[in-house]
Amino acid sequence: MPAGRQRYERVLPSISGTNESALSSVQNSAPERVSAGVFSMPVGASLAICVRLLLSLIMIAADYLAAPALYNGSTLWATAGLLLLIFRRGQAVGANSEEPGIARLSIARLAIFLALHAIIITIGRSSGAILTSAAASDALAAAPLAAAKLLILLPVIALFSRSDWSAILRKFRAEFLAALIVLLTFFPYRLFHTIWPAYSQLIATLAYYGAKPFVAGLAFINQPIPTIAGPQINLQIVFWCSGFSALALFDTLVALIAILDWNELNHARLLTAYIAGGAAILAANIVRISLLVIIGNDIGPEYAMGRFHVNAGWAFFAVIYLIILTVSYRWMLKKPS
55 with 35, same domain: the answer is no
Summarize the confidence of residues 169-176 as an average pLDDT: 94
133 with 247, same domain: the answer is no
Residue 203 backbone phi and psi in degrees, to 5:
-70, -30
Task: Tell me, yes or no, whether 162 lies in a domain.
Answer: yes
- From residue 112, alpha-carbon distances to 8, 116, 155 in Å are 74, 6, 8
Q: C-alpha angle with apex 66: 181 to 157, nearest 5 degrees?
A: 45
27 with 52, same domain: the answer is no
- The model's confidence at residue 158, banded by pLDDT at 50, 70 and 90, is very high
Task: Tell me, yes or no, whether 177 lies in a domain.
Answer: no
Task: Tell me, yes or no, whether 3 lies in a domain.
Answer: yes
Task: Tell me, yes or no, whether 178 lies in a domain.
Answer: no
Q: Which of residues 139, 172, 205 is at a domain's end? A: 172
Is pLDDT of 191 > 70?
yes
Whole-angstrom distance, CA of residue 248 vs CA of residue 281: 10
Identify the CA nearest to 230 among candidates 184, 282, 289, 168: 289
The rounded percent of the chain whose pLDDT value lies above 90 is 55
Of the ranges 59-63, 212-216, 232-236, which is most confident?
A: 59-63
Task: Tell me, yes or no, whether 185 lies in a domain.
Answer: no
Task: Tell me, yes or no, whether 281 lies in a domain.
Answer: yes
Summarize the confidence of residues 247-270 as an average pLDDT: 94
pLDDT computed for residue 138 by the predictor: 66
pLDDT computed for residue 127 by the predictor: 87
250 with 126, same domain: the answer is no
Identify the CA nearest to 40 among candidates 315, 328, 263, 203: 263
130 with 229, same domain: the answer is no
Is pLDDT of 31 > 60?
no
pLDDT computed for residue 261 by the predictor: 94
Whole-angstrom distance, CA of residue 45 vs CA of residue 103: 9
Summarize the confidence of residues 15-28 as an average pLDDT: 39
Torsion of CA 259, 181, 185, 132, to 10 degrees: 110
Higher pLDDT, residue 20 or 279: 279
* Domain of residue 138, residue span: 41-172
pLDDT computed for residue 16 by the predictor: 42
Is pLDDT of 336 > 50?
yes
Would you say 150 and 186 are in contact if contact means Cβ atoms under 8 Å apart?
no
The predicted-structure confidence for 99-137, as pLDDT tens digits, reads as follows 677 889 999 999 999 999 999 999 999 987 887 776 666
35 with 45, same domain: the answer is no
Task: Tell me, yes or no, whether 109 lies in a domain.
Answer: yes
149 with 232, same domain: the answer is no
55 with 22, same domain: the answer is no
29 with 46, same domain: the answer is no
The predicted-structure confidence for 33-53, as pLDDT tens digits, reads as follows 443 445 578 777 899 999 999
Q: Which of residues 138, 172, 206 is at a domain's end? A: 172
Summarize the confidence of residues 6-28 as an average pLDDT: 40
136 with 30, same domain: the answer is no
Q: Which of residues 112, 141, 172 is at a domain's end? A: 172
Number of structural domains the chain divides into: 3
Is pLDDT of 187 > 70?
yes
Would you say 297 and 231 are in contact if contact means Cβ atoms under 8 Å apart?
yes
195: amino acid identity, one letter: I
69 with 122, same domain: the answer is yes
Is pLDDT of 12 > 60?
no
Whole-angstrom distance, CA of residue 41 vs CA of residue 91: 6
195 with 321, same domain: the answer is yes
Task: Tell me, yes or no, whether 285 lies in a domain.
Answer: yes
Identify the CA nearest to 290 among candidates 210, 215, 216: 210
Is pLDDT of 54 > 90?
yes
Averaged pLDDT of the chain: 83
pLDDT computed for residue 86 by the predictor: 95
The pTM for the full model equals 0.80
